Structure 1
Amino acid sequence: MHNGDDSRFTEKFINKAMMPALDAVERHWRENWRAARAAKDKEGGKGTLIIVGKRTQNKFFSNGLDYDNLVKDPNFHTNFFPLVFNPLIRRLFTFPIPTVAAINGHCFAAAFGLAICCDYRVMTDGSTRNAWMCMNEVHFGAGWPLSFVGIFRAKVSDNRVLRKIALEGHRFTPAEALDAGLVDHLVKGDTAAVIAKHARSVSL
């Protein structure tokens, strides 16, 4: 993902960049899969989708929505999630190959929701720079859309962890995120390339 320094989600970024990118990845995988089947190559046609923050920095996976600008639209609360963000997370939930969030920095709000939608999550260990996962809406008075409620209730089975996420807006360190089952692996290093490389090792 690359949209400014902290890869915030906007309608344009989702509809003009992320959704077409997902279509391109699926199309490429299907072409390879069909070719492998035609060649009777049992090992061919495998694939994994890896989502990583801007690769030239190690501060942000994504800082979530471009909230201050999005809420200027009077139709934001009725249109943005049903028409823009929910189709993105639905696409990830139904993607035909494994999905990995390679979390190379702070993962806040909607970015946390996006990462939770992925099948696997790999995160920097924070040894060279702080990195947190946090649903921080409670700290600035923004409510959760119903889609976020459904996502986290489905993906986080421990009610104590869910309470810390939703009611406390807790900032999970990488070690805390691993202990809570929010991420699958931690990686020592400070670049997206290192994380993405390790993410491939946990893909199918």
Structure 2
Amino acid sequence: MEKRLVTLEFTGDGFAIVRMRNGQNRLNSTFLGSLNQALDEVERNKECKALITTGEGKFYSNGIDLDWLMGQDGATVDRFSKTLENTLWRVMHFPLPTVAAINGHAFAGGAFLAMSHDYRVMRSDRGWISWNETHLKMRFGDMLLDLLSKKVLAMKSIREAVLFGKRVTAGEAKELFLVDAMTDISDLIPKAKQMAFEALGPNGIDRDMLQRMKQDLYVRPLGNKPFLPGTNVKASKL
């Protein structure tokens, strides 16, 4: 039986819970394909009120699968880069409230995925969020820099978690406004639901209007830096 990298559950109270279930949940073409299939199903379900993504065990997502990526030809790298970019923007512009329920480590590309959501709640006793590209001697492409500029507004947050790539705990992440709340692992999904319900308000929000407002607020930029210095991987691959 083929292992499902991403599973989708529709709950009786109107939520779509997308669970990433591939160990460290490293991002590659196959994994992103599974994630986008789940997002397709969520969008088709007109009864769904909000989207929650989460992982299992130690990891929310440990970022891009660099071991896989470095072994690919240029055309595959380009396709993956565009798929990753499109996926992050898709979540940024999703027509429902979105909450990342960060169950464990969220590094680099995994941190970007979490930040692309409307809200984030993080497990309080375990896990870090961090952009470790400085330590990997890799640069961000324009799209990722733009995402950071829209989602991480405090200079202290950029300095600690991005520039110096520190491993930020849940408590520190809340102080740095990287996450909105932290809680015990047993309460992670209920807390994510509560945040989404509060975002919807008593009367709900029109899907199309919510998506248009996100598109207006988070305008997708044009162009990308062409290459990462000293590697054969383009700058938008982190």
TM over 0.5: yes
The reply to whether residue 50 of structure 1 matches residue 52 of structure 2 is yes
Aligned to 2:145: 149
Deviations 1:67-121 (A, max 9, x none): 121122232654422x210110111111111000000001111010011110000
Aligned to 1:60: 59
Aligned to 2:38: 21
Within the candidate set 135, 152, 172, 1:139 is matched to: 135
Aligned to 1:80: 80
Q: 2 CA distance for matches of 1:77 and 1:12? A: 13
The higher-RCO structure (CA 8 Å, 6+ apart) is: 1
Contact (CA 8 Å) 2:28, 2:65: kept in 1 or not?
A: yes
Q: For residue 162 of structure 1, what is the amino acid of its counterpart?
A: I
TM-score, normalization: structure 1? 0.82
Q: For residue 5 of structure 1, what is the amino acid of its counterpart?
A: G
Within the candidate set 155, 176, 180, 1:180 is matched to: 176
Q: 1:154 to 1:111 in 2, by over 3 A?
A: same
**Gapped regions of structure 2 (runs ≥ 5):** 1-18, 201-238
TM-score, normalization: structure 2? 0.71
Deviation of 1:3 after TM superposition, in Å, equals 4.6
Aligned to 2:230: none
Deviation of 1:9 after TM superposition, in Å, equals 0.9
Q: CA RMSD in A?
A: 1.6
Aligned to 2:6: none
Count of matched residue pairs: 178
Deviations 1:118-169 (A, max 9, x none): 000000001xxx3100001111222222221111111111112112232201
Q: 2 CA distance for matches of 1:117 and 1:94? A: 9
Q: Which runs of 4+ in 1 moved over 4 A?
A: none
Q: For residue 18 of structure 1, what is the amino acid of its counterpart?
A: L
Aligned to 2:189: 196
The percent of aligned pairs where both chains have the same amino acid is 33
Q: Secondary structure at the residue paired with 2:20? A: coil
**Gapped regions of structure 1 (runs ≥ 5):** 33-45
